Chain A
Amino acid sequence: MIEVESLTKLYDKFPAVSDLSFAVRPCEVMGLVGPNGAGKTTTLRCLSGIIPATRGTVRIAGEDLTTNPVATKRQLAFFSDEPRLFDYLTVQQHLAFTARIYQVSDYQEIGRCLLEELEMADKIELLPGELSRGMKQKLAIACGLLHSPKAIFFDEPLTGLDPLGIRRMKDSILKRAREGAAIIISSHLLHLLEEVCSHVLILKNGRKVVDGTMGEILQKFSEQSGGANLEEVFFRATGEAKEAK
């Protein structure tokens, strides 16, 4: 369960995120969309404790990120668009290091299953420099999922993946959701979000403009001006419909 109340992040005096509140329950996948500079990545980085929020509350699986950061961080995983790896550790060593940090005692078995699922089982001795971009992304995901997080944040998870990789990533996200994780995906690929997400939150200039289940939102905008898909909804909600035309 991800609960966010009045989240605000200021860069000096510039509000990157303003008074944002929402909740994502277990098994739900929320799509976080918005134009460039809307505050999507800042929101995800605040939620995962990478940068401190200026105001507001973030609770993950009941733990408050501000008052109890260590326990909260045990429950979450964040995957940035650019996989951050240590270039001198092999795939196997990345897993061993992550396991020690998160104290995952049976990491070898979990790691083996994850690597098989991500089709990397034969790459355990390779260094990041020897992996393709997609493979690096998969390694970052394997490390992040090793401790079975209850909240997962994806920032542009499909960047650099081939069509098969994209399919597998979508399946993997849905699998984690079915297993009970609360997931937030930030992406500009609206068709992907339409396929994967149960909920959508549209941000503009750091503020929430639309929030709800995918069905509700599509229906709401369909009622206003005929059949709508998420792309249409996005353009209308962000006021960019004219520019798009």
Chain B
Amino acid sequence: MIGALVYLQVQSIKNRLRVRLRRLKKPKYLVGAVVGVAYFYFFFFRNLFTGRRGAAAGVIDTTPPEALLMFELLGALALFAMVLSAWIFPHERAALAFTEAEIAFLFPAPVTRRTLIHFKLVRSQIAILFTTLLLTLITRRFGGGGTAWIRAVGWWLILSTLNLHTLAASFARTRLLERGVSNWRRRVVVLSALSVVLAAAVLWVRRTIPAPETSDFASLDTIKYYIRHALESGPAFYVLYPFRLVVRPYLAADAHAFLLTFGPVLALMLLHYWWVVRSDVAFEEASVELSRKLAERIAAIRAGGDWHSTAGKQKKKRPPFALRPAGIPAVAFLWKNLISAGQAFTLRTWLFLALLAICIGVPMGSSQLTPGWLPPTIGIVSAILAGYSLLLGPAILRQDLRQDLVNADVLKMYPLRGWQVVLGELLAPTAILTGAQWCLLLLAVTMFSRIPEGDAVPLANRLSFGAGAAIIAPMLNLVSLVIPNASVLLFPSWVQIGRERAGGIEVIGQRLIFMLGSVLVFAFALLPAAVLFGLVFFLSRLFLGMIAALPLSAAVAAAVLAAEAGLAIWWMGRLFERFDLSAESVS
């Protein structure tokens, strides 16, 4: 029977790979794949193959034993927290994640429960092996060092043991529920045991070493000493010991050290495996329910819905304003997409945030009591955040064509010109980004009352900067949002539409190409506005002074950007009108 299940798994993987390879015939996937492979090679694999160990070569190999011990203790502590959470937080019965097809084929089939568990374990190994590869690459890239295969096997041991324990814990929780031990009773017992252990550990530490003084915290070595002492001796030693065993192979410096640490973890893993397969717990009903929820979630994602919402769980959101039936149709899209973004984005919320920024910023910025460096630092950070939001905002806020093109059938049917649909779709993310940036600018203007450890900055100067930035921000946002939305219309099958995330190295490559392309197009779009801004600023500064020059030149630049955005929206509207759904693989 297990042969059939292995066949199912192997064939599924083979077919998935075949589909991936077949789509490389299309240039867009081939180019994406080439870029994706190059990215992974140069960023992660190059050092793995050549034996070079990157900038932080041999961090573990050459790490002093005390530091290694610290890694081991902290790793064990993290594992302990994860294991503990498996006994405290979950409230549902044991449920193995099967697809609906697997349930339809396997549950009515003459297959024992144990075989199903084995199937599940084999399948989870695929995910674990992939995660192992990824973590090995990442940890080596960012200074993990060490021998690649030791790190890989180390990660595999950690992840497999954790996976087996989580599964076994879910079976044990279900068994407790069947025996009348409620979730809350279980939690009380676990938390009580934890409290006893913590109390004992604290008592032990207080008795064995003198309490630290405030001055001790100035030195990192003293802090390390306290942590090491607290975790390596007394009750904590016994509690963390099995977790340290699991972490040790990963930290082994060479093959010999690895082999010495491998045995105990293998024994622990086998013990967990025995625990899992010997558990005779009914998981079928909960599994059916889980697979139904998963299927609903996938269906919701494919329909352009929220990935974390399942049917019936989506909450009704308050509309940002009352939508009247007459007026500019594009406003209907703003209204709809603001509802989609969440109920935080109402005018009331923005007014509240602006008021908050003023109420905090004005007294802090003008007060002599606050430390001299704090208000300007907050001001600078706020301004930087506002700048970053310009770049990151369009990637995060997708309440536009990228979300709605899965409903292109409906959009195409509306009695609207293409540019009206495009403009409407762009309004919500532009408004949200602008609102956030204005609040940040308010905070920056009120807080940046003086240069850190230096002179005061006159209010007029700050207001001039704030007004200039506030004037240009909406148009900058509009232009930056035009780029990904135009990409959707120009290359629909290259861009993620809806909220479903496609996978594969070729998709990663496509995203990299788009990211680079977007930055270039944005820079190019800014060029005319920047030139005119500079020119107007230079002239108006001569004749009107600095205070008036900034808002004036920002207004001129904003007008240029508005014209660019207007042209782009008109062009995108034409694209939308000609957009042939039948010719494009939209979702």
Interfacial residues, chain A to chain B (CB-CB below 8 A): 9, 11, 16, 42, 45, 48-52, 69-74, 76, 78, 80, 84, 86-90, 93, 96-97, 99-107, 125, 127, 129-130
Is the CB of B325 closer than 8 A to any CB of chain A? Answer: yes
The 0/1 profile, CB within 8 Å of A marked 1, for residues 242-260 of chain B is 0000000000000000000
5 pairs, A vs B, C-beta closer than 8 Å: A73-B414, A86-B407, A87-B305, A89-B339, A97-B335
Cβ contact within 8 Å between B325 and A100: yes
Cβ contact within 8 Å between A87 and B309: yes
Cβ contact within 8 Å between B327 and A100: yes
- Known contacts A84-B409, A129-B313; A97 and B582 CB within 8 A of each other: no
What's the minimum C-beta distance from B454 to chain A, rounded to whole angstroms?
A: 49
Cβ contact within 8 Å between A125 and B316: yes
Is the CB of B1 closer than 8 A to any CB of chain A? Answer: no
What's the minimum C-beta distance from B432 to chain A, rounded to whole angstroms?
A: 15
Q: Tell me which of B304, B310, B332, B417 contacts A101 (CB under 8 A).
A: B332
Chain B hits for A84, CB < 8 A: 407, 409-410
What is the bound-complex CA distance between A129 and B409, given in angstroms? Answer: 20
Chain B hits for A70, CB < 8 A: 415-417
Chain B hits for A93, CB < 8 A: 319, 336, 339
Q: Which of B22-30, B220-228, B488-496, B573-581 contacts A (4 or more CB under 8 A)?
A: B573-581
Q: Tell me which of B311, B332, B580 contacts A52 (CB under 8 A).
A: B580
3 closest A-B pairs by CB: A100-B332, A73-B415, A99-B325
Cβ contact within 8 Å between A100 and B580: no
Is the CB of B300 closer than 8 A to any CB of chain A? Answer: yes
Cβ contact within 8 Å between A51 and B407: no
Chain B hits for A49, CB < 8 A: 412-413
- Known contacts A51-B582, A71-B415, A87-B309; A100 and B317 CB within 8 A of each other: no
Is the CB of B308 closer than 8 A to any CB of chain A? Answer: no
Is the CB of B312 closer than 8 A to any CB of chain A? Answer: yes
Q: Tell me which of A42, A73, A100, A125 contacts B324 (CB under 8 A).
A: A100
A-B contact count (CB 8 A): 105
Chain B binding surface, main DSSP class: loop
Nearest B residue (CB) for A127: B314
Extra contacts, 5 of them, besides A50-B408, A51-B582, A101-B329 (Cβ < 8 A), are A48-B413, A50-B413, A86-B340, A87-B309, A100-B323
What is the bound-complex CA distance between A146 and B437, given in angstroms? Answer: 39
Q: Which of B316, B340, B408, B415 has the most CB of A within 10 A?
A: B415
What is the bound-complex CA distance between A80 and B410, given in angstroms? Answer: 10
Cβ contact within 8 Å between A96 and B581: no
Cβ contact within 8 Å between B316 and A129: no
Cβ contact within 8 Å between B413 and A73: yes
Nearest A residue (CB) for B418: A69
Q: Tell me which of A11, A42, A50 contacts B412 (CB under 8 A).
A: A50
What's the minimum C-beta distance from A34 to chain B, rounded to whole angstroms?
A: 18
What is the bound-complex CA distance between A50 and B409, given in angstroms? Answer: 6
Interface residue ranges of B318-366 to A (CB < 8 Å)? 319, 323-327, 329, 331-332, 335-336, 339-340
Cβ contact within 8 Å between B581 and A102: no
Nearest B residue (CB) for A88: B340
What is the bound-complex CA distance between A107 and B325, given in angstroms? Answer: 7
Cβ contact within 8 Å between A96 and B413: no
Chain B hits for A100, CB < 8 A: 323-327, 329, 331-332, 335
Interface residue ranges of B271-329 to A (CB < 8 Å)? 300, 303-306, 309-314, 316-317, 319, 323-327, 329
What's the minimum C-beta distance from B152 to chain A, rounded to whole angstroms?
A: 42
Nearest A residue (CB) for B412: A50
Cβ contact within 8 Å between A101 and B326: no
What is the bound-complex CA distance between A93 and B316, given in angstroms? Answer: 10
What's the minimum C-beta distance from A94 to chain B, rounded to whole angstroms?
A: 9
What is the bound-complex CA distance between A140 and B412, given in angstroms? Answer: 15
- Known contacts A50-B413, A105-B326, A127-B314; A88 and B339 CB within 8 A of each other: yes
The 0/1 profile, CB within 8 Å of A marked 1, for residues 553-587 of chain B is 00000000000000000000000011011110000
Nearest A residue (CB) for B324: A100
Nearest A residue (CB) for B303: A87
Chain A hits for B414, CB < 8 A: 73, 101-102
Chain B hits for A101, CB < 8 A: 329, 332, 414-416
Chain A hits for B303, CB < 8 A: 87
What is the bound-complex CA distance between A90 and B416, given in angstroms? Answer: 23
Interface residue ranges of B188-236 to A (CB < 8 Å)? none
What's the minimum C-beta distance from B217 to chain A, rounded to whole angstroms?
A: 49
Chain A hits for B413, CB < 8 A: 48-50, 73, 76, 78
Q: Which of A9, A11, A52, A88 has the most CB of B within 10 A?
A: A88
What is the bound-complex CA distance between A50 and B577, given in angstroms? Answer: 9
What is the bound-complex CA distance between A78 and B413, given in angstroms? Answer: 8
Cβ contact within 8 Å between A11 and B583: yes
Chain B hits for A72, CB < 8 A: 415
Nearest B residue (CB) for A125: B316
- Known contacts A11-B582, A87-B300, A88-B317; A97 and B415 CB within 8 A of each other: no
Q: Tell me which of B314, B329, B410, B580 contacts A51 (CB under 8 A).
A: B580
What is the bound-complex CA distance between A54 and B348, given in angstroms? Answer: 49
Cβ contact within 8 Å between B312 and A130: yes
What is the bound-complex CA distance between A72 and B324, given in angstroms? Answer: 23
Chain A hits for B417, CB < 8 A: 70
Chain A hits for B583, CB < 8 A: 11
- Known contacts A102-B415, A129-B313; A96 and B323 CB within 8 A of each other: yes
What is the bound-complex CA distance between A70 and B415, given in angstroms? Answer: 4
Cβ contact within 8 Å between B309 and A129: yes
Chain A hits for B332, CB < 8 A: 97, 100-101
Chain B hits for A103, CB < 8 A: 325-326, 329
Nearest A residue (CB) for B399: A88
Interface residue ranges of B527-570 to A (CB < 8 Å)? none
Chain A hits for B581, CB < 8 A: 45, 50-51
What is the bound-complex CA distance between A146 and B310, given in angstroms? Answer: 29
Nearest B residue (CB) for A48: B413
What is the bound-complex CA distance between A156 and B314, given in angstroms? Answer: 28
What's the minimum C-beta distance from B40 to chain A, rounded to whole angstroms?
A: 34
Nearest A residue (CB) for B331: A100
What's the minimum C-beta distance from A70 to chain B, rounded to whole angstroms?
A: 5
Cβ contact within 8 Å between B314 and A88: yes
What is the bound-complex CA distance between A102 and B325, given in angstroms? Answer: 8
What is the bound-complex CA distance between A78 and B323, given in angstroms? Answer: 24
What's the minimum C-beta distance from B415 to chain A, rounded to whole angstroms?
A: 4
Cβ contact within 8 Å between A97 and B336: yes
What is the bound-complex CA distance between A86 and B339, given in angstroms? Answer: 10
What is the bound-complex CA distance between A16 and B327, given in angstroms? Answer: 39
Interface residue ranges of B73-120 to A (CB < 8 Å)? none
Nearest B residue (CB) for A90: B316
Chain B hits for A51, CB < 8 A: 412, 580-582
What is the bound-complex CA distance between A71 and B327, given in angstroms? Answer: 17
Nearest A residue (CB) for B300: A87
Nearest B residue (CB) for A106: B325
Chain B hits for A71, CB < 8 A: 415
